Protein backbone atom coordinates (compact mmCIF):
# COMPACT_ATOMS: atom_id res chain seq x y z
CA UNK A 1 0.00 0.00 0.00
CA UNK A 2 1.97 2.95 -1.29
CA UNK A 3 -0.72 5.58 -1.01
CA UNK A 4 -2.03 6.98 2.23
CA UNK A 5 -5.27 5.28 3.20
CA UNK A 6 -8.08 7.67 4.17
CA UNK A 7 -11.31 7.13 6.11
CA UNK A 8 -13.25 8.14 2.99
CA UNK A 9 -11.55 5.41 0.99
CA UNK A 10 -12.37 2.84 3.65
CA UNK A 11 -16.00 3.96 3.66
CA UNK A 12 -16.21 3.66 -0.12
CA UNK A 13 -14.74 0.16 -0.13
CA UNK A 14 -16.62 -1.21 2.85
CA UNK A 15 -20.06 0.39 2.67
CA UNK A 16 -22.15 -0.85 -0.23
CA UNK A 17 -25.43 0.92 -1.12
CA UNK A 18 -27.38 -2.06 0.22
CA UNK A 19 -25.45 -2.11 3.49
CA UNK A 20 -25.85 1.67 3.85
CA UNK A 21 -29.63 1.41 3.55
CA UNK A 22 -29.70 -1.23 6.28
CA UNK A 23 -27.18 0.39 8.63
CA UNK A 24 -28.32 4.01 8.51
CA UNK A 25 -31.40 3.37 10.67
CA UNK A 26 -29.13 2.80 13.68
CA UNK A 27 -28.38 6.51 13.97
CA UNK A 28 -25.62 6.76 16.58
CA UNK A 29 -23.77 3.70 15.31
CA UNK A 30 -24.01 4.88 11.70
CA UNK A 31 -23.29 8.59 12.01
CA UNK A 32 -20.83 8.56 14.94
CA UNK A 33 -19.59 5.07 15.73
CA UNK A 34 -18.96 3.89 12.17
CA UNK A 35 -16.95 7.00 11.09
CA UNK A 36 -14.75 6.47 14.16
CA UNK A 37 -14.08 2.88 13.09
CA UNK A 38 -12.94 4.11 9.67
CA UNK A 39 -10.24 6.21 11.34
CA UNK A 40 -9.23 3.43 13.74
CA UNK A 41 -9.12 0.85 10.93
CA UNK A 42 -6.31 2.66 9.09
CA UNK A 43 -3.39 1.39 11.28
CA UNK A 44 -4.67 -2.19 11.01
CA UNK A 45 -4.63 -2.03 7.21
CA UNK A 46 -0.88 -1.45 7.25
CA UNK A 47 -0.39 -4.75 9.07
CA UNK A 48 -1.07 -8.38 8.23
CA UNK A 49 -3.57 -8.84 11.03
CA UNK A 50 -6.65 -10.72 9.87
CA UNK A 51 -10.24 -9.67 10.57
CA UNK A 52 -10.75 -12.92 12.50
CA UNK A 53 -7.83 -12.04 14.77
CA UNK A 54 -9.48 -8.69 15.55
CA UNK A 55 -12.73 -10.51 16.32
CA UNK A 56 -10.91 -12.76 18.77
CA UNK A 57 -9.24 -9.73 20.35
CA UNK A 58 -12.66 -8.07 20.79
CA UNK A 59 -13.59 -10.70 23.40
CA UNK A 60 -10.94 -9.26 25.72
CA UNK A 61 -12.44 -5.77 26.33
CA UNK A 62 -15.85 -7.38 26.76
CA UNK A 63 -14.56 -9.56 29.59
CA UNK A 64 -12.62 -6.66 31.11
CA UNK A 65 -15.67 -4.40 30.87
CA UNK A 66 -17.90 -6.94 32.59
CA UNK A 67 -15.39 -7.49 35.41
CA UNK A 68 -15.00 -3.73 35.99
CA UNK A 69 -18.76 -3.17 36.05
CA UNK A 70 -19.31 -6.15 38.34
CA UNK A 71 -16.46 -5.39 40.75
CA UNK A 72 -16.04 -1.63 40.42
CA UNK A 73 -16.54 0.30 43.65
CA UNK A 74 -16.34 3.84 42.29
CA UNK A 75 -17.22 5.89 39.24
CA UNK A 76 -13.71 5.63 37.78
CA UNK A 77 -13.81 1.82 37.76
CA UNK A 78 -17.31 1.82 36.29
CA UNK A 79 -16.22 4.30 33.64
CA UNK A 80 -13.37 1.91 32.82
CA UNK A 81 -15.95 -0.83 32.36
CA UNK A 82 -17.98 1.39 30.06
CA UNK A 83 -14.89 2.34 28.05
CA UNK A 84 -13.99 -1.34 27.62
CA UNK A 85 -17.41 -2.01 26.05
CA UNK A 86 -16.95 1.07 23.88
CA UNK A 87 -13.62 -0.38 22.73
CA UNK A 88 -15.41 -3.62 21.87
CA UNK A 89 -17.88 -1.71 19.70
CA UNK A 90 -14.97 -0.11 17.82
CA UNK A 91 -13.28 -3.47 17.27
CA UNK A 92 -16.64 -4.88 16.19
CA UNK A 93 -16.61 -2.39 13.32
CA UNK A 94 -12.91 -2.64 12.57
CA UNK A 95 -12.93 -6.38 11.87
CA UNK A 96 -15.68 -5.96 9.28
CA UNK A 97 -13.90 -3.00 7.70
CA UNK A 98 -10.71 -5.01 7.32
CA UNK A 99 -12.61 -7.99 5.89
CA UNK A 100 -14.40 -5.94 3.25
CA UNK A 101 -11.43 -3.68 2.42
CA UNK A 102 -9.02 -6.60 1.90
CA UNK A 103 -11.76 -8.95 0.67
CA UNK A 104 -10.98 -11.45 3.43
CA UNK A 105 -14.56 -12.14 4.45
CA UNK A 106 -15.74 -15.67 5.16
CA UNK A 107 -18.67 -17.49 6.72
CA UNK A 108 -16.52 -18.42 9.70
CA UNK A 109 -15.52 -14.78 10.14
CA UNK A 110 -19.15 -13.71 10.06
CA UNK A 111 -19.99 -16.36 12.67
CA UNK A 112 -17.10 -15.29 14.89
CA UNK A 113 -18.13 -11.63 14.64
CA UNK A 114 -21.70 -12.53 15.63
CA UNK A 115 -20.48 -14.60 18.58
CA UNK A 116 -18.40 -11.70 19.90
CA UNK A 117 -21.41 -9.40 19.51
CA UNK A 118 -23.79 -11.71 21.38
CA UNK A 119 -21.21 -12.10 24.13
CA UNK A 120 -21.02 -8.31 24.58
CA UNK A 121 -24.80 -7.84 24.38
CA UNK A 122 -25.41 -10.27 27.20
CA UNK A 123 -22.60 -9.09 29.47
CA UNK A 124 -23.19 -5.34 29.24
CA UNK A 125 -26.69 -5.64 30.75
CA UNK A 126 -25.59 -8.30 33.24
CA UNK A 127 -22.65 -6.14 34.31
CA UNK A 128 -24.86 -3.06 34.67
CA UNK A 129 -27.23 -5.05 36.87
CA UNK A 130 -24.43 -6.13 39.19
CA UNK A 131 -23.10 -2.56 39.30
CA UNK A 132 -26.58 -1.33 40.28
CA UNK A 133 -26.69 -3.90 43.07
CA UNK A 134 -23.35 -2.65 44.39
CA UNK A 135 -24.23 1.06 44.18
CA UNK A 136 -25.77 2.14 47.48
CA UNK A 137 -26.68 5.52 46.02
CA UNK A 138 -29.13 4.10 43.49
CA UNK A 139 -32.61 5.58 43.67
CA UNK A 140 -34.66 2.40 43.89
CA UNK A 141 -32.73 0.73 46.70
CA UNK A 142 -35.48 1.61 49.18
CA UNK A 143 -38.01 -0.21 47.00
CA UNK A 144 -36.04 -3.44 46.75
CA UNK A 145 -34.12 -3.25 50.02
CA UNK A 146 -35.22 -6.75 51.01
CA UNK A 147 -34.03 -8.15 47.67
CA UNK A 148 -30.46 -6.90 47.23
CA UNK A 149 -29.77 -9.08 44.18
CA UNK A 150 -32.84 -8.04 42.21
CA UNK A 151 -30.84 -5.84 39.81
CA UNK A 152 -28.40 -8.65 39.11
CA UNK A 153 -31.36 -10.86 38.19
CA UNK A 154 -32.91 -8.14 36.02
CA UNK A 155 -29.57 -7.55 34.29
CA UNK A 156 -29.00 -11.23 33.58
CA UNK A 157 -32.52 -11.69 32.21
CA UNK A 158 -32.18 -8.51 30.16
CA UNK A 159 -29.05 -9.87 28.48
CA UNK A 160 -30.86 -13.12 27.73
CA UNK A 161 -33.81 -11.24 26.21
CA UNK A 162 -31.39 -9.35 23.98
CA UNK A 163 -29.77 -12.35 22.34
CA UNK A 164 -32.72 -14.77 22.31
CA UNK A 165 -34.62 -13.35 19.29
CA UNK A 166 -31.36 -13.05 17.34
CA UNK A 167 -30.54 -16.71 17.93
CA UNK A 168 -34.05 -17.78 16.93
CA UNK A 169 -33.92 -15.53 13.85
CA UNK A 170 -30.72 -17.17 12.62
CA UNK A 171 -32.10 -20.62 13.39
CA UNK A 172 -35.22 -19.84 11.35
CA UNK A 173 -33.08 -18.68 8.45
CA UNK A 174 -30.94 -21.82 8.43
CA UNK A 175 -33.51 -24.47 9.40
CA UNK A 176 -36.66 -23.47 7.54
CA UNK A 177 -35.16 -21.26 4.86
CA UNK A 178 -36.76 -18.03 6.01
CA UNK A 179 -34.98 -15.23 4.16
CA UNK A 180 -36.00 -12.31 6.34
CA UNK A 181 -37.25 -14.09 9.49
CA UNK A 182 -40.61 -12.35 9.59
CA UNK A 183 -39.19 -9.02 8.46
CA UNK A 184 -36.73 -8.79 11.38
CA UNK A 185 -33.49 -9.06 9.40
CA UNK A 186 -34.16 -6.53 6.64
CA UNK A 187 -33.79 -3.11 8.29
CA UNK A 188 -34.36 -1.18 5.07
CA UNK A 189 -38.13 -1.48 5.44
CA UNK A 190 -38.37 -0.78 9.17
CA UNK A 191 -41.20 1.53 10.21
CA UNK A 192 -41.02 4.23 12.87
CA UNK A 193 -41.68 1.85 15.78
CA UNK A 194 -39.03 -0.66 14.70
CA UNK A 195 -36.48 2.11 14.08
CA UNK A 196 -37.15 3.53 17.54
CA UNK A 197 -36.77 0.07 19.12
CA UNK A 198 -33.60 -0.53 17.10
CA UNK A 199 -31.98 2.67 18.34
CA UNK A 200 -33.00 2.26 21.97
CA UNK A 201 -31.69 -1.31 22.10
CA UNK A 202 -28.58 -0.76 19.96
CA UNK A 203 -25.63 -1.86 22.11
CA UNK A 204 -23.08 0.18 20.10
CA UNK A 205 -25.51 3.12 20.29
CA UNK A 206 -28.02 4.29 22.90
CA UNK A 207 -27.35 1.38 25.26
CA UNK A 208 -23.78 2.62 25.76
CA UNK A 209 -24.70 6.31 25.84
CA UNK A 210 -27.33 5.82 28.53
CA UNK A 211 -25.03 3.51 30.48
CA UNK A 212 -22.39 6.23 30.65
CA UNK A 213 -24.94 8.80 31.82
CA UNK A 214 -26.38 6.45 34.45
CA UNK A 215 -22.95 5.61 35.86
CA UNK A 216 -22.30 9.23 36.81
CA UNK A 217 -25.88 9.96 37.91
CA UNK A 218 -26.19 6.78 40.03
CA UNK A 219 -29.20 5.64 38.03
CA UNK A 220 -27.96 2.18 37.09
CA UNK A 221 -30.94 0.70 38.92
CA UNK A 222 -33.41 2.57 36.70
CA UNK A 223 -31.27 1.71 33.68
CA UNK A 224 -31.32 -2.00 34.52
CA UNK A 225 -35.03 -2.22 35.30
CA UNK A 226 -36.04 -0.12 32.28
CA UNK A 227 -33.91 -2.13 29.86
CA UNK A 228 -35.21 -5.39 31.26
CA UNK A 229 -38.78 -4.44 30.33
CA UNK A 230 -37.70 -2.89 27.01
CA UNK A 231 -35.66 -5.95 26.00
CA UNK A 232 -38.42 -8.27 27.18
CA UNK A 233 -40.99 -6.43 25.05
CA UNK A 234 -38.71 -6.38 22.01
CA UNK A 235 -38.01 -10.10 22.45
CA UNK A 236 -41.71 -11.02 22.62
CA UNK A 237 -42.62 -8.86 19.61
CA UNK A 238 -39.63 -10.07 17.59
CA UNK A 239 -40.32 -13.72 18.29
CA UNK A 240 -43.96 -13.25 17.39
CA UNK A 241 -42.91 -11.72 14.06
CA UNK A 242 -40.43 -14.52 13.39
CA UNK A 243 -42.86 -17.35 14.10
CA UNK A 244 -45.72 -15.59 12.33
CA UNK A 245 -43.52 -14.92 9.34
Phi, psi of 185 (to 5 degrees): -80, -40
User: What pLDDT was estimated at residue 70?
Assistant: 96
Q: Lowest-pLDDT range, 92-106, 176-190, 204-218?
A: 176-190
**Mean pLDDT throughout 217-225?**
93
pLDDT at 98 over 50: yes
Q: How far is CA 207 from CA 48, 85, 124, 130, 222, in A?
A: 33, 11, 9, 16, 13
Measured CA to CA, the distance from residue 230 to residue 159 in angstroms comes to 11
Q: Which of 10, 32, 15 is nearest to 86 (CA)?
A: 32
Identify the band that residue 46 occupies on the pLDDT scale cut at 50, 70 and 90: very high
Measured CA to CA, the distance from residue 45 to residue 1 in angstroms comes to 9
Measured CA to CA, the distance from residue 195 to residue 29 in angstroms comes to 13
Q: Which residue has the higher pLDDT, 48 or 21?
A: 48
Q: Which of 54, 117, 131, 53 is nearest to 89 (CA)?
A: 117
Q: Which residue has the higher pLDDT, 168 or 60?
A: 60
**Mean pLDDT throughout 103-125?**
92
Q: Are 59 and 91 in contact (CB under 8 A)?
A: no
Measured CA to CA, the distance from residue 182 to residue 62 in angstroms comes to 31
Which of the 8 DSSP states describes residue 50?
Answer: -
pLDDT, tens digit, 9 for 90 and up, residues 65-80: 999 999 998 999 999 9
pLDDT at 126 over 90: yes
Amino acid sequence: MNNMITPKEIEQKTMSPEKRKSAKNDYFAFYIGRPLTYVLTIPFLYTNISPNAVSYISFVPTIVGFVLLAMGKNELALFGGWFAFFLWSMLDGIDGNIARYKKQFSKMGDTLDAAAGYFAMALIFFGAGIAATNDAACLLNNWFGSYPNVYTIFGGLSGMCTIMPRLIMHKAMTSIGSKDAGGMKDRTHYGVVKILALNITSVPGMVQILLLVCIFTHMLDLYTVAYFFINLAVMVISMRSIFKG
